[in-house]
């Protein structure tokens, strides 16, 4: 609270906020840690799957004896031990077209840290639909990307990456210090967005080549014809998946 431009009001804003963290691995788990110690009011952690031994080089909320068990439950346990004042909801599921809208509506902002673009695209569409900011953090090997998306003010994820990188589900190695570096910047971005401290990466894409310590800021293109955030969107859309897969949803209904 001694930090200029943060103070008691910044702390109170954090306490009053709910952050949805999609993906609770080396990236999302570390984001959750720094939001918890900063005093966020509530965390909603969403991640299916069990802890694997090869997660342990980067997943700092986990312990060796938990291998084989649902990792999001351990994340809740560890975070609660570190800061018992944070309310934590742990959901051992992946982001799907059925759960994403409810999760986003209950949150003030979302942190996009999943390991695949299917979940990221759904989260992006839901954040645009329900008008919630989303911080997009991604990495591949030694490269990392970070941007803050404010629906209709800034390009959305679909504007920034109209074609998805060729990202294999478990396809690249990650050093814990690389995911941790990106995670700290991501958590900082969330704290800044919530409290008004400093300047966020709204509408900008921070690219990091951590192999050679090169950082760049690019201005992302806001596509007026974007399928997700572009003008002319139907007012009858009630689900993120209708924005993302309009023809599929029509077939289903
Ligand atoms: Zn867009």
Q: Output the CA 128–ligand 1 centroid distance in Å.
A: 8
Q: Output the CA 223–ligand 1 centroid distance in Å.
A: 6
Q: Which of 190, 197, 199 is nearest to 10 (CA)?
A: 197
Q: Output the CA 18–ligand 1 centroid distance in Å.
A: 24
Q: Output the CA 60–ligand 1 centroid distance in Å.
A: 33
pLDDT in tens, the chain (253 residues): 899 999 999 999 999 999 999 999 999 999 999 999 999 999 999 999 999 999 999 999 999 999 999 999 999 999 999 999 999 999 999 999 999 999 999 999 999 999 888 999 999 999 999 999 999 999 989 999 999 999 999 999 999 988 876 665 556 788 999 999 999 999 999 999 999 999 999 999 999 999 999 999 999 899 999 999 996 566 688 899 999 887 665 555 4
Q: What angle do CA 140, 159, 250 make, to 5 degrees?
A: 105
Residue 120 domain-assigned (yes or no): yes
- pLDDT at site 251: 54
Residue 253 domain-assigned (yes or no): no
Q: Residue 18 is part of which domain span? A: 6-245
- pLDDT at site 25: 94
Could you tell me the end-to-end alpha-carbon distance of the chain, in angstroms, rounded to an integer?
Answer: 52
Q: Output the CA 61–ligand 1 centroid distance in Å.
A: 33
Residue 252 domain-assigned (yes or no): no
Q: Kindly state the tokens that stand for 137.
A: 């953090």
Residue 153 domain-assigned (yes or no): yes
Residue 250 domain-assigned (yes or no): no
- pLDDT at site 50: 96
Q: How far apart are CA 51 and CA 190, in angstroms?
A: 26
- pLDDT at site 28: 98
The pairs formed by 196-200 with CB atoms below 8 angstroms and a separation of 24 or more are 196/5, 196/10, 196/13, 197/3, 197/5, 197/6, 197/10, 198/5, 200/148
Q: Output the CA 125–ligand 1 centroid distance in Å.
A: 9
Number of domains, the chain = 1
Residue 1 domain-assigned (yes or no): no
Residues in the chain: 253
Q: Output the CA 194–ligand 1 centroid distance in Å.
A: 22
- pLDDT at site 236: 81
Do the Cβ atoms of 185 and 166 come closer than 8 Å?
no
User: What CATH number does residue 222 fall under?
Assistant: 3.40.50.720
Residue 21 domain-assigned (yes or no): yes
Residue 251 domain-assigned (yes or no): no
Q: Output the CA 227–ligand 1 centroid distance in Å.
A: 7
Q: Output the CA 221–ligand 1 centroid distance in Å.
A: 9
Q: Output the CA 184–ligand 1 centroid distance in Å.
A: 26
pTM here?
Answer: 0.94
């Amino acid at each position: 609270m001694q930090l200029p431009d943060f103070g008691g009001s910044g702390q109170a804003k954090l306490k009053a906020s709910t952050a949805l963290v999609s993906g609770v691995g080396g990236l999302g788990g570390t984001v959750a840690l720094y939001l918890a110690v900063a005093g966020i009011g509530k965390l909603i952690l969403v991640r299916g799957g069990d802890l694997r031994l090869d997660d342990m080089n980067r997943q700092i909320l986990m312990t060796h004896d938990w291998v084989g068990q649902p990792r999001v439950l351990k994340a809740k346990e560890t975070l609660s031990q570190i800061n018992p004042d944070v309310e934590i909801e742990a959901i051992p599921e992946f982001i799907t077209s059925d759960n994403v809208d409810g999760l986003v509506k209950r949150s003030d902002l979302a942190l996009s840290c999943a390991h695949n673009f299917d979940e990221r695209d759904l989260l992006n569409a839901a954040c645009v639909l329900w008008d919630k900011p989303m911080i997009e953090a991604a990495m591949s090997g030694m490269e990392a990307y970070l941007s803050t998306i404010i629906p209709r003010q800034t390009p959305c994820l679909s504007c920034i990456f109209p074609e998805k990188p060729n990202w294999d589900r478990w396809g690249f190695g990650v050093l814990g210090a690389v995911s941790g570096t990106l995670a700290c910047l991501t958590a900082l971005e969330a704290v800044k967005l919530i409290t008004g401290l400093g300047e966020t990466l709204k509408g900008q894409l921070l690219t990091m080549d951590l192999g050679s310590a090169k950082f760049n800021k690019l201005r992302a293109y806001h596509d007026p014809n974007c399928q997700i955030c572009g003008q002319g969107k139907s007012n009858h859309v009630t689900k993120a998946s209708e924005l993302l897969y309009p023809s599929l949803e029509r077939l289903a209904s």
